[in-house]
Chain A
């Protein structure tokens, strides 16, 4: 079974589906959104993160590295990526977790042990598990087994997907998913290609198919000023969503925050979207208004 690496598990997640939830993040994504706020979610392999703010300059990582890939500089530790084999020795010795490995393999049993710790809170709040990423549907077998076993325990399952996966995977997921959090970035296919690396043809057709299957779906739109907040873009979102088959879909608007910037630094890469802006209240109001005019139930957050 093709199993993902997991880069985060968040307890008391309150913005990712009904009730109080446990959110599990799979590593690896089929999109390359320029604004991506979880850059460690993009590639499926383990990565090393370095947080300069935590580094106390003890130099233990430099000493422990058998490949001599690390060097102490005035700005902190520099990793020579040619030499680094991602063995993780530096992360293990680091006293402050300034050096960390992102992405850890976990068996389904291990995940269930963690999930069951939250069972009481799920029961109390009508919450459950949300799997996010990355793109969880890149790991259908693993995901389906996890969801099947959650289903046996009557745990609510939400799946956060960008929808750029084979249609049959999505439909198979619908058999064992209580709620889809379906991300839409843009309706215009050309700009979608420019800003996410792929066209949205498959995404939109998958969304329509999923709607026909009767699945519960909530559409999530990251709102980024200058990217998808023009009246034309909003109009296109609203028209596309209101034309979907089945019940009217709820829409959640997720305002973009520049807070991800430093995560790129941790990865040692730069953020192409550093100049992007959060939408202002007026943009959010305009967006809400547009969706509501199309008879859609829209809200900010979650």
Chain B
């Protein structure tokens, strides 16, 4: 993830979009207590009168009927989660922020959310007392066993659901064919078919279906209120062009989401209302995703541009308006450990562009190209975007994406449908559902519109090695957090060390899964999401909630972080301790304990004389394969509460930074508290043989056994200077994907990175400055030459 914060609007954007973008970028995120006030009043009045699903739906309806409606100047796509752009509601039923939390959020340096003292006072008076002891978070922490808590606090894993609802949802094309009234018909026919004579769950189904119906009405009402406001504004508006726009907005909001959209504009607005509904009902992780948005919009675009009802520029303007709307919704603020592991405003809406369609054909359309232009020109934090490159994807599209990548914003990321479709098939999806699937959030795969694929938290794999080397004790606190698997002196050889590591791994994973399963049932019972359930297939026909195995597929993921760090650490011990006896185990452990102080010779020998992951060296890569396979063995196929299973993916987002902070120095020479490696990427600076070696190392393990891997590849601008270099970048991507890679993302090195490399050379050993017939490592250059390279990078010309 490369958060961006440029304020200068690039040329080419029309003045409306420039103004909307400026407002979005310049507005500081704030907290709105409106939702919490409505909800608390509603719960005080109504708790106990209804079944939980109906209570939740009525609560949602109540908020939709009262919440402040925002319709800003210039807007074409309308609707905000809060009362104004960048205002985020709170969800006290999940986590009730304390007065102290608000003060921290209001004053911290990064990821600040402003809130007035007056609002804090109201919250303290009206909201906090009611929720005391009733929140999902308190109930979870009240339940968890002591050893889970010890592991959690030691940083062995995180728990996504302790303060946000399960999410990672993406939609299929259903909502472009059906309006909420159609869904209501479907719900009612299911209610009529309920068999109270033979079905012991018929009552539960009825309550859930009633809740779904109410939530459809809630979203229709929400849209109607926007139509009303647009008409009111049109009545007093002086500018005839704006009057016409407001009238269009009103008619669009009267049509969708009640009915299926008929135009490109309505289709975008349809999705946006559904998006807002799901993120207002609850605050599921990673917001909400439109899935293959270009494929969903393409039929509208084709028809309307042919009829002359829509021009390419108008379509692009509407997409820009949509993009800015997503940027207006910062992630709900987190607290505690979760704030440390996911400290970002990004709520990870990820637009999938290109790829294949449900019949396996090329999914690229003119809309895909327009979206690439929008990404390049808007240059905003949200939504994230990913480009999907199958063997069927034309080079023209790949090259267009590579040219956006060259801009150096860190996106779009690139995904390989030919691999992730196999991942989904292996997990049991039908071929068609797999092809309609893709990646939401960061890199995790799911069957869009048909699956609850719940990320349960990250696993700190290097930390597991750390406790293995300390007989189950966390050396930072002295607490016994793992098994007593035998101290390092008992390991006769490398295999014994590795066996102890696997034993600890299994223990940690099982501890995490036990609690995850408990949390899953908490959400199923106490925080169902009836509106989300409407738009995810099979929830209606099963009469079951999204959180209660309603969707066609139900997966739980554990995200494993730090493959590079743990591989390099194991390679170090294997080579230097057990094979070459360069250093004794005692000496290495002592050096780690001292954070390598006074042990620079040892540390540098390790860093420079150990085969590390990412160099196409089988010594290290074989260790990585083994670790990956053992992670799979520990996680993959373990039952979840929905009759399906846990799978692994290799995502890290920003958690590798938090995990690094919980981890002492590691045998690979990494200093204490420095971040661990991200995703399945090599450790920072460990890959010194160029990108072709990296992709070879990465494809030695089988990505199709995961639910996603992640490769961040650092790239110097000199490697993508000319048009033919863009083609070569495309060929590198094609090569990685035909070898079996799931995802790759290029971070084009900018001057900030080069300056950081001057400060911390060992983390940037891979920075190779290349020219025809000549190349050298950036770190080896003297300060003057480094300065010259920095200046050349600024001018994009070396």
Contact = CB atoms under 8 A, between A and B. Distances in A.
A56 interface: yes
A54 B719 CA distance: 25
B692 A302 contact: no
A38 interface: yes
Given A37-B774, A38-B774, A11 B728 contact: no
Interface in B675-692: 689-692
A240 interface: no
B582 to A, nearest CB: 10
B692 A53 contact: no
Interface residues of B, number: 45
A118 to B, nearest CB: 6
B611 to A, nearest CB: 14
Nearest to B797: A281
B780 A53 contact: yes
Interface string A2-13: 000000101111
A38 B773 contact: yes
Nearest to B739: A120
A266 B402 CA distance: 37
Given A56-B601, A261-B785, A262-B785, A160 B773 contact: yes
Contacts of B739: 120
A15 B770 contact: yes
B750 to A, nearest CB: 19
B491 interface: no
B732 interface: yes
Interface in B694-734: 696, 719, 721-722, 724-725, 728, 731-732, 734
Contact of A125 (B728, B761, B773): B728
Contacts of A20: 692, 728, 731-732, 735
Given A53-B780, A254-B773, A124 B719 contact: no
B237 interface: no
Interface residues of A, number: 43
Interface string B382-399: 000000000000000000
B773 A56 contact: no
Interface string A110-127: 000000011011001100
Interface stretch (B469-477, B529-537, B602-610): B602-610
Nearest to B773: A132
A125 B735 contact: yes
Contacts of B8: none
Contact of B789 (A56, A259, A261, A266): A259
B691 A124 contact: no
| Most chain B CB neighbours (cut-off 10 Å) among A54, A95, A252, A301 | A95
B608 A96 contact: yes
Given A19-B731, A53-B782, A301-B721, A260 B774 contact: yes
A121 B772 contact: no
B770 A10 contact: yes
A14 interface: yes
B600 interface: yes
A301 B772 contact: yes
B725 A14 contact: yes
A95 B604 CA distance: 5
Given A53-B780, A259-B788, A124 B735 contact: yes
B771 interface: yes
A188 to B, nearest CB: 23
A301 B690 contact: no
B616 A117 contact: yes
Contact of B731 (A125, A257, A262): A125
| Most chain B CB neighbours (cut-off 10 Å) among A121, A263, A265 | A121
A51 interface: yes
Interface string B659-670: 000000000000
Given A60-B601, A96-B608, A254-B773, A11 B782 contact: no
A105 B367 CA distance: 55
A224 to B, nearest CB: 13
| Most chain B CB neighbours (cut-off 10 Å) among A38, A120, A260 | A120
Contacts, number: 121
Contacts of B779: 53-54
Contacts of B607: 95-96
B404 interface: no
B780 A121 contact: no
Contacts of B775: 8, 10
B772 A15 contact: yes
Contacts of A262: 776, 780-782, 785
A262 to B, nearest CB: 5
Given A56-B604, A95-B608, A12 B691 contact: yes
Contact of A15 (B605, B734, B771, B782): B771
A164 interface: no
B693 interface: yes
Interface in A259-294: 259-263, 265-266
B143 to A, nearest CB: 50
Contacts of A97: 608
Nearest to B616: A117
Contacts of B788: 258-259
A16 interface: yes
Given A14-B725, A95-B608, A125-B735, A259 B781 contact: yes
| Most chain B CB neighbours (cut-off 10 Å) among A13, A56, A260 | A13
A252 B771 CA distance: 13
B770 A56 contact: no
A11 B775 CA distance: 11
A1 interface: no
Contacts of A302: 722, 724, 772
A156 interface: no
A58 interface: yes
A220 interface: yes
Contacts of B601: 56, 58, 60, 95
B738 A58 contact: no
A252 B738 CA distance: 32
A191 B604 CA distance: 47
Contacts of A125: 728, 731-732, 735
Contact of B776 (A13, A16, A258, A259): A259
B798 interface: yes
B764 to A, nearest CB: 13
Nearest to A263: B776
A16 B772 contact: yes
Nearest to A37: B774
B731 A121 contact: yes
Contacts of B693: 11, 117
A121 B735 contact: yes
Contacts of B17: none
A262 B774 CA distance: 13
A13 B761 CA distance: 23
A220 B773 CA distance: 11
Contacts of B781: 53, 259, 262
Contacts of A120: 735, 738-739
Contacts of A220: 772
10 A-B pairs with least C-beta separation: A95-B604, A125-B731, A15-B772, A95-B605, A12-B690, A11-B690, A124-B735, A58-B601, A96-B604, A11-B692
15 contacts: A12-B690, A14-B725, A19-B731, A37-B774, A38-B774, A53-B761, A53-B781, A54-B780, A58-B601, A95-B601, A95-B607, A97-B608, A120-B738, A254-B772, A260-B774
Given A10-B770, A54-B780, A262-B782, 16 more contacts: A8-B775, A12-B719, A14-B725, A14-B770, A20-B731, A37-B774, A38-B774, A95-B605, A117-B616, A117-B692, A160-B773, A220-B772, A259-B769, A260-B774, A262-B776, A302-B724
Interface of B: 600-605, 607-609, 616, 689-693, 696, 719, 721-722, 724-725, 728, 731-732, 734-735, 738-739, 761, 769-776, 779-782, 785, 788-789, 798
Interface of A: 8, 10-16, 19-20, 37-38, 51, 53-54, 56, 58, 60, 95-97, 117-118, 120-121, 124-125, 132, 160, 220, 252, 254, 257-263, 265-266, 301-302
